[in-house]
Amino acid sequence: LDLERATALLGVACYVAASLLAGGLLIWTPSRGVRAARVLLAVGATLLAAVLIGGWVRAAAIPVFNRFDAMTCYALALSGAYLLMGASCHARGIACLLIPAATVILLSGVSAGEGGAGEPAPVQGPWLVLHVVTAFAAYGVFTVASISAAAYLIQDSNLKHKRFGLIWERLPSLEALDQNMSRLVGVAFLLLTCSI
């Protein structure tokens, strides 16, 4: 259990470091910073996933029935959606908004600690696993879409007020954000349909 707690703390530390680095992307050169933030995010997500899988194996129940596990699963789904989007789409600039949001979600679960394990569902099986995984994946993709929408509103405001500064340069174009949002919402609805 001490190794599990240390692994969880190291994963949270990776998220916090990635969040600080992502916040600095508005000031520093983004190419190296984005890669470093993604690597830290991936390492933190891997460590936290290992903690959840260890808890799953130890308790023989899906680890989403307390606040720590649920918020960690949500942060992992959000991080996974962003990392997949970053690998396949034009996701430049979203890191400065998304990684801090994932860190806040994770920290809200960590503040609950591991107390209050919650009652596991009476039925544990592959259908429940499929339901939980697809639901969290849908929530993560929906959150990435909403953060893209926030970036769209920021860019639109910058364009209307003719503020073409550093934030304008760092965030994606309105067209790229619009395309990303429509694709992400379509994928999220598909995942949510599978979950239901």
- What pLDDT, in 10s, does the model give residues 129-167? 888 889 999 999 999 999 889 888 988 888 888 877 766
Predicted local confidence at residue 99, as pLDDT: 86
- Tell me the H-state helices in the chain: 2-24, 30-59, 67-88, 95-110, 126-160, 166-170, 174-195
Residue 86: name the closest of 129, 45, 27, 51 by CA.
45
pLDDT score, position 42: 92
Confidence of residue 115 (pLDDT cuts 50, 70, 90): very low
- % the chain with pLDDT above 90: 23
Q: How confident is the model at residue 194 (pLDDT cuts 50, 70, 90)?
A: very high
Token pair of 74, please?
């949500």
Query: Mean pLDDT across the stretch 48-70?
Result: 81
pTM equals: 0.82
